[in-house]
Structure 1
Amino acid sequence: MEEENEGGGSQRSQTHIHNHYLWALASAAQFGWAISAYRRGYAGDHRLMPFKAFGVASLFIGASASGAVASLQASGIQKVEDLVELGASIRNGLGIPKRARDE
């Protein structure tokens, strides 16, 4: 349920507006941590090196995913239908005909 506040807007929409900043911050933090771990290299038992490599790769993948969610939320895309509509709008703007669907 959305509750009306004194400004006339809903509480949920105001929270949602600033939510993408948190995703962007998480992405930047993960990316920074991944860069620092990558530059530090590996020191220790050689048998544990694959685990460190997996951890660093996971940080890079997580930073990419967090950044993608932040950009989607910042652009106002909430559902898959919104993304499909955006793609159709871009195709129309470029003058590309509609895609044929297999039915």
Structure 2
Amino acid sequence: MEVGSAGGEAGTHWWWAVASAVQLGWAITSYRKGYAGDSHLMPFKAFAVASLFVGASTSAGISCLQGFGIHKVEDVMEVGANLRTRLGIPQKTPNEKTDDL
């Protein structure tokens, strides 16, 4: 596997994208097939299908973050700081208290 300049693995976002596609396909197939079997297991089936949809969206989100080069919380904070600078919003200091409450 390729190793990026930050020490992480480059290209791992493709695995997350594949996982997202597989989960979404499995969820749609299960949803369209409907329920067949014992009625006592219906809540389990509904929870399983919902979990597949949630897992697919989470995998897609992680794939997007990694694809854009965001691997750590510090990267997200840097993106936020850059966005604030471009919008002309003053930067927050860690000790700054807000009186919004």
How does 1:5-84 map onto structure 2 within 5 Å? 11-13=2-4, 16-84=9-77
Which digits, 9 at most, give the CA deviation of each residue in 1:52-83, with x for residues without a partner?
Answer: 00100110111111111111111111110110
Q: Structure 2 length as normaliser, TM-score? A: 0.81
- SS of 2:89 mapped into structure 1: coil
Unaligned runs of 5+ in 1: 1-9
Q: C-alpha distance in 1, partners of 2:4/2:94?
A: 35
- Higher deviation after alignment, 10-19 or 33-42: 10-19
Establish whether residue 94 from structure 1 lines up as the match of residue 87 from structure 2: yes
In structure 2, C-alpha distance between the alignment counterparts of 1:50 and 1:30, rounded to whole Å: 19
- How many residues are treated as equivalent by the alignment? 94
Instruction: For residue 11 of structure 1, report the CA deviation from its aligned partner.
Output: 4.3
> Does the CA contact (< 8 Å) of 2:2 and 2:11 recur in 1?
no
Tell me the TM-score normalised to structure 1 length: 0.80
Alpha-carbon distance in structure 2 between the residues aligned to 1:65 and 1:38: 19
Question: Deviation digits for residues 18-41 of structure 1, max 9, x if unmatched?
Answer: 211111011011011111111111
Equivalent residue letter for 1:41: G
CA contact (8 A) 2:13 2:64 kept: yes
Structure 2: which 5+ runs fail to align? 97-101
Greater fraction helix: 1
RMSD across aligned positions (CA):
2.2
Q: What's the CA shift for 1:99?
A: 3.0
